[in-house]
Amino acid sequence: MCNHAAIFRVANDAISVMTEPAYFFETLKDNIKSANRRIVLASLYLGTGPLEKELVELIYNSIQASKKANEPSGLQVEILLEYTRGSRGKVNSRTMLLPLLQEFSDSVRVSLYHSPELRGLIKRLLPERFNETVALTHLKVYLTDDTVIMSGANLSNDYFTNRQDRYIEIKNSPEVADFFHELVSSVSDISLQLHKDDTTHMLKDFAFHPSESNKTEFITKATERLKTLVHSCSGKKAIRFLGDKPGTWVVPLLQMYPYSIRQDEYVTSELLGSLPEDSKLLLASGYFNLTKKYIDLLLHSAASCHILTAHPTANGFYMAKGIAGGIPDAYTQIAREFFRRTLTHHHRITIWEYARQHWTFHVKGLWYYPPNHALPCLTLIGSPNFGYRSVYRDLEAQVAIVTEDKDLQARLHEEQKCFYARGCRVTYRTFEHAERRVPVWVYVVTKFIKKFL
């Protein structure tokens, strides 16, 4: 990791592990209420229901209170969302945030990332929802003052109620918070800026439009802007490593393949490729579609590997209308193909499917247990699903948390147990059930769209 990313030491008790979406929502609200200097949020989108409106009202009230207090710098708010998903429908993420811009334009910045891949004929022909499959920002960062919540959850009702995800809060850690603030700001700089009349424009000092400017020129200039962040943090290694107490370190990992930033891919590959005998790896992905490289590394590993993914009924697209309704079947097909490849490794590689009535499964990340250890010393948490989209298409960020602290290790252990306890092991009989038979059209289409899932 030291060769690829910045490393920050944090206090052992700075890390809080949450397992319930309702608690995540309450913590996020409390953090917004108590924010004094900055609120920085990055998500795929912001929903439009009552809970999301409550979140916007809290931000509004916090800014208003800051202005009444006449604080020198005042509370500043930055929000980064995906252009396509955030613009879907007449009532959308953009319209939800307009009151903030209309009332506090000097304190609020809303940016909408637009992939340079979505342009021309493809942009004109692809309808809403399907245009999101091309490429997007998948970042999830929830930052207030010097506290950051890393998660795979978006800002919408399901993620606050009955869609299972992960949520780890890193409290009172200014260096980590500054890094992620710079990350969100850097991506915002190459994104469309939302104005109070619901129009969008690029920044004056970045006069390259993602879908209207020359594609190569946009990517070149955007890469320069984003790599400035990576280079500026390259020297932030071994910060405050000295001390006799067991330590905890946070390692931010970025994956922005279109802009030649591949930290997460490199670190994940090195981890999967160096698992020793008698070690254990637990890997979760709500949308299980590992890249060929990751699959090969797992198959050639000496470690025990236990994979947790969504049962079709816990897939976010279960019972969706139209073509999207076939997506759970597509993931069944992908899981079946992977399962067949693991048959000769069944003694050390297992697959589990999470099922919970009226809940969906969106957990992603991994836990690593060293040889003959009962507790994990490392976890990865953030937005990547370890699939083709995460590695090659979307903008992703997660953190590796490495700890020697037994209490934190125990809490991470309990976290994974909470998820795996609802898992059912996949066997060859799993795919023989009538409801698991993949329609012919899904089987055929999956081969063509696999790298977009």
203, 234, 265 — which closes off a domain?
234
Whether 5 is in a domain gets the answer no
Q: What is the mean pLDDT of residues 236-260?
A: 79
- Across 275-388, where does the E strand assignment appear? 280-285, 304-310, 349-354, 360-361, 364-369, 378-382
Q: CB 395: neighbour CB atoms within 10 A?
A: 26
Same domain, 23 and 130: yes
Structure confidence at residue 237 (pLDDT): 57
Structure confidence at residue 244 (pLDDT): 61
Whether 433 is in a domain gets the answer yes
**pLDDT over threshold 80, residue 157:** yes
**Domain residue limits at 94:** 11-234
For 100, the 3-state DSSP assignment is helix
Same domain, 265 and 132: no
448 to each of 19, 325, 329, 417, 451, how far by Cα in Å? 36, 17, 14, 36, 8
Same domain, 252 and 393: yes
Same domain, 283 and 227: no
Q: What is the CATH number of the domain that holds 97?
A: 3.30.870.10
Whether 240 is in a domain gets the answer no
Q: What is the 3-state secondary structure (H, E, C) of 375-395?
A: CCCEEEEECCCCEHHHHHHCE
Question: Which residue is it, tokens 């929802």?
Answer: 129
Q: Number of structural domains, the chain?
A: 2
User: Which residues fall within 8 angstroms of residue 122, CB to CB, at 6 or more apart?
Assistant: 131, 134
Residue 295 burial (CB < 10 Å; 0-12/13-18/19+)?
middle
Structure confidence at residue 243 (pLDDT): 54
**pLDDT over threshold 50, residue 241:** no
**Would you please indicate which residues are annotated as catalytic (active-site) residues?**
138, 140, 145
Same domain, 229 and 262: no
Same domain, 268 and 119: no
Using one digit for the tens of pLDDT, what is the confidence trace for 295-329?
Answer: 999 999 999 999 999 999 999 999 888 899 999 99
Same domain, 383 and 347: yes
pTM attached to this predicted model: 0.96
Whether 2 is in a domain gets the answer no
For 14, the 3-state DSSP assignment is helix
Same domain, 91 and 120: yes
Question: Which residue is it, tokens 């083709």?
Answer: 388
d(CA 341, CA 335): 10
Tokens (6 digits) for 107: 């304190």
**pLDDT over threshold 70, residue 185:** yes
Same domain, 259 and 189: no
For 334, the 3-state DSSP assignment is helix
Provide, rounded to the nearest whole percent, the portion of the chain with pLDDT above 90: 90
Q: What is the mean pLDDT of residues 381-385?
A: 98
